[in-house]
Structure 1
């Protein structure tokens, strides 16, 4: 958790420096922040074991940044950054987070309208003051309002990836420091929803007092909101609420079912229980006539007693899962262990932060059978997209690395879908690639008909294999572009093309509802991490979570195919034209 705090501080300092017109230092701070957030080890342990030298061994962390980290670890603040905040208009860092506002526009808003906070900005938008500024206009004002709404929503709830990391940190801490038999998280986190409000945890322990004492005294707890014998709530640094309950072993399954939710699923389950002569609560399943508990310790037994297949947490949204479970018609959902490879990965050849060989080695260590290297194509200048000569250099590097590892490496590219639906490399180059992930990276505000035609044209291209992050959204930052997804799904099926489920926690694109709809058309999917570093490869679990929420099975996802079967599929796609 402290790693994320330090990363946030560095990113905030970078925002303020950008606002002040400093050029190179913000990039350095952001690179260090990214590497610190990617660490698998608590940075405090690195400092305790190896001192400043250990911090400087982190890529991107030089002597100056290492000193800032040490100061924060020892005092809880960085004096230089505190001065920066004092000397800059309040809220500058927050304002820069509003999509569509860069440092120059923020500076203009501060200087000409005295806007210092997001609240000030919203007020200025609502009073139509923004459109009067040179370089803004009515359309810009409308877009800023949309970005403000997204920003506010994203700060009410946290991304799945952040919540999972925090929950796992708390789990590990409690397992290491208290006497307990069992601990797990529940709520929307267990259902793998894309955003999470609070974190709920359940514990079985013969010493609840010790558990509560350990919990409220966590090093990362900013304050204790409540403390009791069997339930306590702490607020972590960053304002995240974590609620922990100690429950009796005989009620653990019922409590897990209840606190996992969703609310609508639980209401339907209680109604079903009543119809069968039972009463279901967080304490157990009881006979309505005698009040005798018949189930409670085991969650699966509760579903079984009510005549249902066990319903996995990801399906518990009251979207037909109870009726299907009653008929024994729930699908056998895809598992993380079914995944054999990752088909959307970036390296230092474009905007990735780890080398091609480092990514290959990490994927092999995960037990993958294959990996596709898919750096950006030439139009993506902001992401250091590859020119054709650079792409050929990468092929040579892949050939070299392939001889040193057992994992199979596909030569791929994430190729821009241009405004007219054409692809960003000529056909002769695309034909030489093993796999092409086509993605929209521009023109997100295009009219619905225009965007649909653009995507359809790309899906009809002979050398397009996978449509990357198909709706273009960034959770809490950018809404999906407007497109007729029924037409997109139908075109994909008719042309044998694959739709990506982008597992990056900022995207999770397609979302669960679009996955459900696409599955009805018979679409095949590819779950990929869009990794920009070795640590990002672990994002696969989030993509699998969304796939499970979309009722997908092993057969729906091509990443479960053997290498030979995958290569045959890719050949078949290109033979269709």
Structure 2
């Protein structure tokens, strides 16, 4: 197994602490692992730079040996032992609201609860409310949570299915008998959630391809197995079941089948109306003449649209509004290849997994010309936020690193909290020395809309704040975020010339695409950033770009497409 980075080691130590809580181990032993995790979190170095972890305050020989094993082997034999000792069904209960290791341990030890079914039975028999620290209301809440827990959602957030997309794409690339294939449906259009995944496959050997599909090793259910369509439910970690349709067509019909199953339904209605005006009929197999019955096929989608005297319409804007009446120039949307920088990311100085230099090298490898290091500010203690002294030290390290590169620029930065009382985490004399200041809300989500808006507006009116990050705080399918008057936010951003972020993390995609479009219409600049806390999160940039395209974003609107000189001039305009 691959060696663990510092972030992964911290998470594993916290997992061990939870397992020990469930086992009912004494509080001092549990605390030892949490203290070790905190000690690593506070240290600004990578795990390799730390060297011997036992030299850090808060880490004893026992926890140090586990850290070393994780660093060298990418596993913990002690955690493996704990997993063997504790019923796996208990771990799934951690996803229930308000259920931590201590409570689950009490249910396990005192009531013999080992899984969700056992917990439901104990609640229904009124046994849970009699335990110390629970009560009747808690029991009622647990039952409601279990009801929600057991439901399979109608639509899955794209963050949940991205592993499946990567997995299936990799397999199809290895199959024999496939000419070409593409993922259609809501995923291709950049929707935030999907009902299922639709793969369109060009093949002259559907039986051969179909046999390979039905032999995949993570099939939960074969829903249907026809000659040209196979529907499966595929199983992935943490109980995730992903419905997938595979449609097999001859290559001549590939373009029209791809268009048909990309959708949306409303877009397809518009296209059928356009065809009717030409005395033609669109099907998934081609375009048929109503007069002669001749079926025309196309090598690709651009040729299909050209047949109707239309420019190529990107999948992301096929929603049945005005895309057929839009000028070709307005369909020239931002592309991943336009991105020159990622301007929101974290390092080991706060709660990231990699050092500054490691993140710099990773960004250079992606072909970027510049970037910003934006660790958390001091208010966010849980993320080891930087105080004024540490921020100054970090900026000095960044300046030294800049001297090493002639072809790359690292901007100093900070993701600064907007505090619950509306004030900012740093004073202006600190902010004016920072190249790229991000302001964001991480606390007091339940405040009323007016209070939230005043917090955001305080930041936007500050001359040193460049951007508002993930402006609504939402997590798709998990959290709605705080109350924001979106029109007022966009108007203020336009007035103050403040960048609004489209956070590319697939769990966020915040701003949502419809507000991104409104912002562009009012002249607001948008930043598409990954908010990366480790290397693999840098790969989320195309997800953010797809969401931006869904909001009709042009290249020039997106500050990440600018060269570094243009960006710096913009950042310094009010200083």
1:83 offset after TM fit, Å? 4.2
- Contact 1:13 / 1:84 at 8 angstroms: preserved in 2? no
- Cα deviation digits, residues 305-341 of structure 1 (max 9, x gap): 22322211111122322332xx546331000000000
- Contact 2:116 / 2:146 at 8 angstroms: preserved in 1? no
1:415 offset after TM fit, Å? 0.2
1:352 offset after TM fit, Å? 0.2
- Contact 1:347 / 1:359 at 8 angstroms: preserved in 2? yes
1:65 to 52, 75, 79: 75
How does 1:236-255 map onto structure 2 within 5 Å?
A: 236-238=234-236, 239-255=241-257
- Contact 1:153 / 1:476 at 8 angstroms: preserved in 2? no
Report the more deviating stretch, 559-568 or 233-242. Answer: 233-242
1:462 offset after TM fit, Å? 1.7
Q: 1:496 to 1:542 in 2, by over 3 A?
A: same
Q: 1:124 to 1:522 in 2, by over 3 A?
A: farther
- Contact 1:14 / 1:27 at 8 angstroms: preserved in 2? no
The 3-state SS of whatever aligns with 1:65 is coil
Q: 1:189 to 1:26 in 2, by over 3 A?
A: farther
2:271 to 269, 286, 311: 269
Structure 1: how far apart are the matches of 2:180 and 2:67? Answer: 37
Which residue in 2 is equivalent to 1:168? 166
- Contact 1:370 / 1:409 at 8 angstroms: preserved in 2? yes
Which residue in 2 is equivalent to 1:39? none
The 3-state SS of whatever aligns with 1:437 is strand
The 3-state SS of whatever aligns with 1:453 is helix
The 3-state SS of whatever aligns with 2:331 is coil
How does 1:414-429 map onto structure 2 within 5 Å?
A: 414-429=415-430
Which residue in 2 is equivalent to 1:183? 181
1:244 offset after TM fit, Å? 1.5
- Cα deviation digits, residues 390-449 of structure 1 (max 9, x gap): 112212221232233332000000000112332111211111100101000001111111
Does residue 198 of structure 2 align to residue 200 of structure 1?
A: yes
1:13 offset after TM fit, Å? 8.2
1:366 offset after TM fit, Å? 0.8
- Contact 1:95 / 1:118 at 8 angstroms: preserved in 2? no
1:523 offset after TM fit, Å? 1.0
Does residue 412 of structure 2 align to residue 402 of structure 1?
A: no
TM-score with structure 2 setting the length: 0.80
Structure 2: how far apart are the matches of 1:294 and 1:395? Answer: 62
Give the total of aligned pairs: 525
1:278 offset after TM fit, Å? 1.6
- Cα deviation digits, residues 429-478 of structure 1 (max 9, x gap): 11110010100000111111111111111111121110000010011221
Structure 2: how far apart are the matches of 1:226 and 1:175? Answer: 23
How large is the RMSD of aligned CA atoms in angstroms? 3.9
Does residue 469 of structure 2 align to residue 468 of structure 1?
A: yes
Q: 1:479 to 1:258 in 2, by over 3 A?
A: same
Which residue in 2 is equivalent to 1:260? 262
- Contact 2:469 / 2:501 at 8 angstroms: preserved in 1? yes
1:348 offset after TM fit, Å? 0.2
The 3-state SS of whatever aligns with 2:465 is coil
1:566 offset after TM fit, Å? 0.3
Report the more deviating stretch, 142-151 or 481-490. Answer: 142-151
- Contact 2:21 / 2:105 at 8 angstroms: preserved in 1? no
1:141 offset after TM fit, Å? 11
Q: 1:20 to 1:80 in 2, by over 3 A?
A: closer
1:156 offset after TM fit, Å? 4.5
Structure 2: how far apart are the matches of 1:150 and 1:403? Answer: 55
Q: 1:153 to 1:480 in 2, by over 3 A?
A: farther
Which residue in 2 is equivalent to 1:308? 310
Q: 1:64 to 1:85 in 2, by over 3 A?
A: farther
- Contact 2:221 / 2:234 at 8 angstroms: preserved in 1? yes
Unaligned runs of 5+ in 1: 1-6, 30-55, 70-77
Q: 1:402 to 1:329 in 2, by over 3 A?
A: closer
Which residue in 1 is equivalent to 2:374? 374
1:154 offset after TM fit, Å? 8.5
Q: 1:545 to 1:485 in 2, by over 3 A?
A: same
Q: 1:384 to 1:20 in 2, by over 3 A?
A: farther
TM-score with structure 1 setting the length: 0.80
Does residue 512 of structure 2 align to residue 511 of structure 1?
A: yes
1:288 offset after TM fit, Å? 2.1
Report the more deviating stretch, 290-299 or 446-455. Answer: 290-299
Unaligned runs of 5+ in 2: 1-7, 25-29, 38-65
